[in-house]
Chains A and B, each alone.
Chain A
Amino acid sequence: MDILSLPSLGKFLTWLSTLASIIGGVYSILVYYRMKKVEDKYLVKIRLPELISKLKEQNKDLPKLLSEFENDIEDNKKRSAVSSSIHSIKVILEDIKRKLDLDKSKSKHSSPPISKWLLSFTDDSLARMLSRRHIDIQALWKIQSDLSSVIMHLEQFNLDLGWART
């Protein structure tokens, strides 16, 4: 009879609500992490085809820009067109790498070629390749060729994900 007294019942309900709050809090944290994981995977799957398309567009224009520059290496407009195109490609690739890094299980196969490409030249070395005194057309074409290989790997990776939108 003592257990069912009003103060005891109040204490019991307080403990029960505290326990429920703790369980609810832990559950919310678990749901948050699960959702974050799903969201990251979704980001990779949805954004990757879009970014690959952008990259392909840039890679389509680059040979023309390189060829025009190769035929007239004194032209500053053509020089800066090549430079800005490579920098745009770099920005897109860095974005792709960030997206892939969100999904660690998938990124180990596709990230290395991107990292290799990004590390193959620095802003300084690119500026040197394009400067009148040290112009290195072969190296510029190698950048384009390596980029095409990176795109090939990314397209394959995208197909493996089961999203063939590119």
Chain B
Amino acid sequence: MSDNIVKLITQLNRHTLNGTIIWRRDDVPYNVIHGSDSYIPLFYSAEFNGTKFGIYEEKYKYYTDVDEYYWLSQVVICTVDNSNLEVWKYNDRLSVLNDLYENIRYKQSGIEDIISKLI
């Protein structure tokens, strides 16, 4: 399964870099934050082949004892339904997933335009 996920992420990355997929900032799905003390700074969504995909960095507490924890983070890719609920997610620590998230943030931030205007 993971090999197919890698193929999907490669396609999303390709279309993101080519500008054929436009990611936009969106509200975090209700079922992602409800009942969780994770912190999600940014959530991006985009339509690809008729499916709405979401991607976000989840910062969560990793407990080593009852009252001892430290913060970890992971990038999650998911699909979202029409009611803005997360219906599938994938959060294995793949370097390509982190690369995709970084590319989306870079593209969506508009920093490319800002830099090109300065140069």
Contacts and interface: CB of A to CB of B under 8 A. Distances in A.
B95 interface: yes
B95 A67 contact: no
A149 B4 CA distance: 9
A68 to B, nearest CB: 8
A148 B2 contact: no
Contacts of B99: 59-60, 63
Interface residues of A, number: 17
Contacts of A56: 95
A144 interface: yes
A59 B3 CA distance: 16
Interface string A55-77: 01001100110110011000000
Interface stretch (B9-17, B28-36, B45-53): B9-17
A149 B10 CA distance: 10
A22 B10 CA distance: 61
A117 to B, nearest CB: 12
A140 to B, nearest CB: 10
A52 to B, nearest CB: 9
A121 interface: no
Interface in B32-84: none
B96 interface: yes
A6 to B, nearest CB: 75
* Majority DSSP secondary structure for residues of B touching A: helix
A64 B96 contact: no
Given A145-B10, A148-B9, A149-B3, A64 B95 contact: no
B7 interface: yes
B95 A60 contact: yes
Given A63-B13, A63-B14, A63-B99, A152 B2 contact: yes
Interface of A: 56, 59-60, 63-64, 66-67, 70-71, 141, 144-145, 148-149, 151-152, 155
Given A60-B95, A67-B14, 16 more contacts: A59-B96, A63-B13, A63-B14, A64-B17, A64-B103, A67-B18, A70-B18, A141-B10, A141-B14, A145-B6, A148-B9, A148-B94, A151-B95, A151-B96, A152-B6, A155-B95
30 contacts: A59-B95, A59-B99, A60-B95, A60-B99, A63-B10, A63-B14, A63-B99, A64-B17, A64-B103, A66-B14, A67-B14, A67-B17, A70-B18, A71-B18, A141-B10, A144-B10, A145-B7, A148-B6, A148-B9, A148-B10, A148-B94, A148-B95, A148-B96, A149-B2, A149-B3, A149-B6, A152-B6, A152-B95, A152-B96, A155-B93
